[in-house]
């Protein structure tokens, strides 16, 4: 199917939302998007399960939310020129194993590639914003705890010429590696945060399969939802950490019978930071008796949480 670049004297610059969304009996196997089309709209080709090839023009600028979601027979996509790829653009394209992103790309939502066959994603040098927020309080209230299943299991490989981001062993950092932004979901075992990191960003480890995390003294801040719904059974935090965000370790149910030692440097803990499934909390939480700033209510996830103060 060749999309026309104009109808009569009217040029077509965008494919509208749901233009071919789950088109009944759709047998289209190849789509050619011509020059002049700047936008592929939301869910424009969603559910076109017979689609195996998409040819995009160099004039295309934006691939909108879920534009090619559920195109389960797509195996390879070459994107020549876009600047923006939105949330879920290729969601559930289960056989998609290769995608080429253009050097023109500036903004990409990491959830664009959830439930694909991709194991690695190359981030070009001009990308200045990668959206990695998998969950927030509003999404949590509307969608429930299983929202974490959205997170893709990707290793990210950032161009060395990128001025905003860097990567190491598939893990996404800011350029100078002071912020850890995205950790591949399927990694197992233990991981030690690099000594250069001062901030673990929001949603960085959501749904991680790690069982142990080691947080060194240079880390000052753990942001909201950083370790939400992980497989953690052991958390080691060195003196130096100052703040723990809301829901930071929520639903890490392997910790229900475990222990957590909070360093004296911790001054603030966000809402339900240690809330477990069913309203439980971590088995026992220890902190220094001289630290009177830490509250003993909402962050623990349960009014019956076992909080132990250690004497100096």
Residue stretches of the chain with pLDDT short of 50: 1-2, 4-9, 11-16, 18, 22, 24-25, 296-297
C-alpha closest to that of 120 among 184, 177, 72, 206: 184
Each residue's pLDDT tens digit, 128-137: 999 998 776 6
Q: How many domains does the chain have?
A: 1
Tell me whether residue 50 is in a domain: no
Tell me whether residue 91 is in a domain: no
In this prediction, residue 274 carries a pLDDT of: 87
Tell me whether residue 211 is in a domain: yes
In this prediction, residue 6 carries a pLDDT of: 44
Tell me whether residue 282 is in a domain: yes
pTM: 0.87
In this prediction, residue 255 carries a pLDDT of: 86
Per-residue CA distances from 205 to 95, 96, 223, 267 (Å): 25, 24, 11, 22
Query: What is the CATH classification number for the domain harbouring 299?
Result: 3.80.10.10
List all residues 6 or more positions away from 151 whose beta carbon is below 8 Å from its beta carbon.
110, 111, 114, 134, 185, 203, 206, 207
Catalogue the long-range contacts made by 23-26 (C-beta closer than 8 Å, 24 or more residues apart).
23/47, 23/48, 26/50, 26/51
Tell me whether residue 8 is in a domain: no
In this prediction, residue 37 carries a pLDDT of: 85
What is the radius of gyration, based on Cα positions, of the chain? 22
In this prediction, residue 193 carries a pLDDT of: 98
In this prediction, residue 57 carries a pLDDT of: 87
| Max CA separation in the chain (angstroms) | 82
Tell me whether residue 56 is in a domain: no
Q: Is the dihedral of CA 160, 191, 214, 201 positive or negative?
A: positive
Count Cβ atoms within 10 A of the Cβ of residue 232 and give its class: 0-12 exposed, 13-18 middle, 19 or more buried. Answer: buried
Domain membership of residue 182 as a residue range:
170-312
In this prediction, residue 312 carries a pLDDT of: 52
In this prediction, residue 142 carries a pLDDT of: 57
In this prediction, residue 140 carries a pLDDT of: 63
DSSP code of residue 145: G
Tell me whether residue 245 is in a domain: yes
Tell me whether residue 114 is in a domain: no
Q: Phi then psi for 287, rounded to 5 degrees?
A: -150, 165
In this prediction, residue 305 carries a pLDDT of: 58
């Amino acid at each position: 199917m060749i999309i026309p670049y104009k109808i009569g004297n009217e040029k077509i610059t965008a494919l509208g939302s749901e233009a071919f969304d789950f088109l009944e009996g759709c047998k289209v196997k190849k789509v050619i998007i011509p020059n002049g089309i700047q936008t592929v709209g939301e869910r424009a080709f969603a559910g076109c399960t017979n689609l195996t090839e998409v040819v995009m023009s160099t004039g295309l600028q934006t691939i909108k939310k879920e534009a090619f979601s559920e195109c389960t027979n797509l195996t390879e996509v070459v994107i020549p020129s876009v600047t923006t790829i939105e949330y879920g653009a290729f969601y559930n394209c289960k056989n998609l194993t290769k995608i080429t992103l253009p050097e023109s790309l500036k903004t990409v939502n990491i959830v664009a590639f959830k439930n694909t066959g991709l194991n690695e994603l190359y981030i070009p040098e001009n990308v200045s914003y990668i959206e990695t927020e998998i969950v927030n309080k509003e999404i949590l209230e509307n969608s429930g705890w299983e929202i974490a299943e959205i997170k893709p299991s990707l290793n990210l490989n950032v161009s060395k010429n990128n001025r905003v981001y860097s990567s190491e062993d598939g893990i996404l950092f800011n350029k100078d590696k002071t912020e850890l932004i995205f950790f591949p979901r399927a990694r197992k075992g233990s991981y030690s945060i690099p000594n250069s990191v001062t901030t673990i960003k929001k949603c960085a480890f959501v749904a991680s399969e790690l069982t142990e995390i080691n947080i060194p003294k240079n880390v000052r801040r753990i942001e909201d939802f950083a370790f939400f719904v992980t497989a953690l059974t052991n958390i080691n935090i060195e003196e130096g950490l100052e703040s723990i965000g809301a829901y930071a370790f929520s639903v890490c149910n392997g910790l229900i019978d475990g222990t957590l030692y909070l360093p004296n440097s911790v001054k603030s803990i966000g809402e339900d930071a240690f809330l477990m499934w069913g309203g439980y909390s971590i088995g026992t939480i220890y902190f220094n008796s001289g630290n009177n700033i830490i509250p003993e209510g909402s962050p623990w996830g349960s009014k019956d949480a076992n909080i132990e103060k250690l004497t100096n």
